[in-house]
Structure 1
Amino acid sequence: MGFFDFLSSDIAIDLGTANTLLIYKDKVVIDEPSIIAMDKRTKKVLAVGKEAMQMHEKTHEDIKTIRPLKDGVIADFYAAELMISGFIKMVDKLNKFIMANHRIVVCIPSGITEVEKRAVKDSCEHAGGKEVYMIKEPIAAALGIGIDIEQPIGAMVVDIGGGTTEIAVIALSGIVCDQSIRVAGDTFNKDILDYMRRQHNLLIGERSAERVKIEVGAALTELDEPPEDYEIRGRDLMTGIPKVIKVSYSEIAFAIDKSVSKIEEAVLKALEIAPPELSADIYDNGIHLTGGGALLRGLDKRLALKTKLPIHVAEDPLRAVVRGTGLALKNINQNKAVLMR
């Protein structure tokens, strides 16, 4: 390893709606919520990531928290730039030899428009990227779970993130057919919020809904190993007084049922439009689930019942995309076919 390799400041970024992960020197060094806290008057950044998340929905009028990404794409360009810069500064602190210019590989949803793509690239360039490459999320996820994407063998990846669900059939280093829907983790949170308000007259925040999803979220109303009921605190809409209720996994499965059905429909649509030769490969190899949504209890079983195909949940689904982005960065010349500038 030469001196300049040692100084190398290549960074792989999984810029997600819910979480942003960064790989530097083959290690995941940042795994933080995609959120930023700012002072409304001075426009100064007060906190990024976990620290900002602790402030979320608890701020007074001088502070606002912003989630710059919505549905997998940048909704607030200025805040996104500041957030990426904040995360890159954290990486720079790890390196004694500060490198101002970084070579960055960032992943993007497959259903992204040219304008949205430009926004991601510009944000990364303004945050200190001298060379910015982009890779589509399903391809990054496939690389991250060890699929050899160069082979003439079809592989189907379903990546359920915070803002989007990306479904793609991959062969010969490219996406043959795909479906991208804006139904994912954030939609489940909203469903849980609405259900609590409707069913229990309980007003809860976004963070609490996320907690419920993690603790008792399920795609089936009957599970072999059910989680224990979870206590949720919120405000009673009738009296205005804080109260506590217990929710079970079967209630949450009922609450998010319609959104899970939309993901099922998108998977079936992708299977329907796949070329017959690749369908034969998918029949042999099954479907690979990645992203935070893959951790939803019973989802693999539900998809298996619907598609009659084997469903494989990735070993560490939350980090599959960033691992793949890191691999693309490491072998940048070999992966030129899947990288966009």
Structure 2
Amino acid sequence: MWFWRMGTDIGIDLGTATILVYIKGKGVVLNEPSVVAIDKNTNKVLAVGEEARKMIGRTPGNIVAVRPLRDGVISDYDTTEKMLKYFIAKACGKRRVSAPKVMICVPCRATEVEKRAVRDAAIHAGAKKVYLIEEPLAASVGSGIDITKPIGNMVIDIGGGTTDIAVISLGGIVVRDSIKIAGDRFDEAIIKYIRKKYKLMIGERTSEDLKIKIGSAFGADESLTADIKGRDLVTGLPKNVTVSSLEIMEALQDCVTAIADCAHSVLEKTPPELAADIADKGILMTGGGALLSGLDKLITHVTKVPTNVADCSVECVAEGTGMVLQYIDKLGVTIDEGDVALID
């Protein structure tokens, strides 16, 4: 039986690769790929999430599986609105919600136009009021850090489209930076490497599987291997090759070095008192990209600061959005300044 429930709080990690939805009192209830399958002839949405992801690279000409978000921001407004509406309804289930309060995360360096697009899409998807929060701030709250104290905390959130790095103190971001190198770029780098070295074309899913199974950013184990299948670019026929973890580390070298250098740059801009706090407490990594083997060791090697991966790093941002939303009335944040914690 359906019933309406007013005032439900929903936190959304609107990621380039994955969308997570947090419901007040229940935690993260939904974790699905941000993919939508559309019939180009009728402009009808055929599938959303995991069902649509299975169609990538396997659809007839009239059906296309698209990702409506690129580099952490909306690239296809209409499709994003439909996707948000679907995920909110699916997350709420039988507790159909009338005009919920929604908090959505955005990259550190999202422009005002990009923020407005996210807010408008959520409003049209059925939200009563929409708040935006920068990803590292949400990640720090979701990982259990008390951001209200005058103590420096450094968070590196590596998602699908962007890597956001911030130093946080007294509930706000002191130093921030964001680069468009993250999980998706990792996959692209692997595809290019395999194509160049083996003359083999592989798809996004194969590349992602390689990254998860044997991917490494530092100290790769050469004995760790995986068999992959793809299309031989010379003969045009299917072909199998065996790839080692050392090769994947080589493929990812430029991407992971850029992230480590960005972390180093943020530390250089950090006030000395906060830098001393970070040296004592270490750097915290969150997001799906943080799970890449050896990435924490590489950042430790470059910054000379201990780096740790958060527990449940994938869910940290979503949990943080929901947790902050519960206390937003008590925070008394007024909005419009670019460096405040929350943006309305």
Structure 1 length-normalised TM: 0.95
Aligned partners of 2:201, 2:94: CA distance in 1, in Å? 42
Q: 1:336 to 1:187 in 2, by over 3 A?
A: farther
The alpha carbon displacement at 1:43 in A equals 1.1
Match of 1:303 in 2: 299
Q: Report runs of 4+ in structure 1 exceeding 3 Å deviation.
A: 334-337
Aligned partners of 1:173, 1:280: CA distance in 2, in Å? 18
Match of 1:284 in 2: 280
Match of 1:17 in 2: 16
Matched, 1:175 2:178: no
Aligned partners of 1:204, 1:222: CA distance in 2, in Å? 22
Task: Name the aligned partner's letter for residue 226 of structure 2.
Answer: Y
Aligned partners of 1:82, 1:120: CA distance in 2, in Å? 12
CA contact (8 A) 2:38 2:44 kept: yes
Task: Name the aligned partner's letter for residue 305 of structure 2.
Answer: L
Match of 2:269 in 1: 273
Aligned partners of 2:281, 2:139: CA distance in 1, in Å? 16
**From 111, 131, 136, the counterpart of 1:138:** 136
**Residues 1-341 of structure 1 aligned to structure 2 (within 5 Å):** 7-25=6-24, 26-95=26-95, 98-223=96-221, 228-337=224-333, 338-341=341-344
**Structure 2 unpaired stretches of 5+:** 334-340
Q: 1:55 to 1:336 in 2, by over 3 A?
A: farther
The alpha carbon displacement at 1:151 in A equals 0.6
Q: 1:268 to 1:178 in 2, by over 3 A?
A: same
Cα RMSD over matched residues? 1.6
CA contact (8 A) 2:150 2:170 kept: yes
Q: 1:63 to 1:22 in 2, by over 3 A?
A: same
Task: Name the aligned partner's letter for residue 108 of structure 2.
Answer: S
- Name the SS for the 1:169 alignment partner: strand
Q: 1:195 to 1:221 in 2, by over 3 A?
A: farther
Over the matched positions of the two proteins, sequence identity in percent amounts to 48
Task: Name the aligned partner's letter for residue 90 of structure 1.
Answer: K
Aligned partners of 1:83, 1:107: CA distance in 2, in Å? 16
CA contact (8 A) 2:175 2:266 kept: yes
The alpha carbon displacement at 1:130 in A equals 0.7
The alpha carbon displacement at 1:340 in A equals 1.7
- Name the SS for the 1:272 alignment partner: helix
CA contact (8 A) 2:6 2:99 kept: no
CA contact (8 A) 1:221 1:249 kept: no
Aligned partners of 2:69, 2:223: CA distance in 1, in Å? 31
The alpha carbon displacement at 1:91 in A equals 2.3
Structure 2 length-normalised TM: 0.94
CA contact (8 A) 1:216 1:227 kept: no
CA contact (8 A) 2:7 2:99 kept: no
Task: Name the aligned partner's letter for residue 128 of structure 1.
Answer: G
Aligned partners of 1:221, 1:282: CA distance in 2, in Å? 25
Aligned partners of 1:44, 1:227: CA distance in 2, in Å? 47
Task: Name the aligned partner's letter for residue 342 of structure 2.
Answer: L
CA contact (8 A) 1:221 1:254 kept: no
Aligned partners of 1:298, 1:239: CA distance in 2, in Å? 36
The alpha carbon displacement at 1:251 in A equals 0.5
Task: Name the aligned partner's letter for residue 100 of structure 1.
Answer: S
> Greater CA deviation, 139-148 or 328-337?
328-337
The alpha carbon displacement at 1:9 in A equals 2.4
Aligned partners of 1:86, 1:52: CA distance in 2, in Å? 13
Task: Name the aligned partner's letter for residue 111 of structure 1.
Answer: R
The alpha carbon displacement at 1:228 in A equals 3.5
> Greater CA deviation, 7-16 or 252-261?
7-16
- Name the SS for the 1:334 alignment partner: helix
**Structure 1 unpaired stretches of 5+:** none
Q: How many residues align?
A: 334
Aligned partners of 1:291, 1:30: CA distance in 2, in Å? 16
The alpha carbon displacement at 1:336 in A equals 4.4
Q: 1:336 to 1:205 in 2, by over 3 A?
A: farther
- Name the SS for the 1:317 alignment partner: coil
Question: Structure 1, residues 247-272: CA drift from partner, whole Å, max 9, x if none?
Answer: 11111000010111100110011000
Question: Structure 1, residues 115-168: CA drift from partner, whole Å, max 9, x if none?
Answer: 000000001000000111111100000001111111110000001110000000
Aligned partners of 1:220, 1:40: CA distance in 2, in Å? 43
Task: Name the aligned partner's letter for residue 45 of structure 1.
Answer: V
Q: 1:184 to 1:126 in 2, by over 3 A?
A: same
The alpha carbon displacement at 1:316 in A equals 1.0
The alpha carbon displacement at 1:227 in A equals 7.6
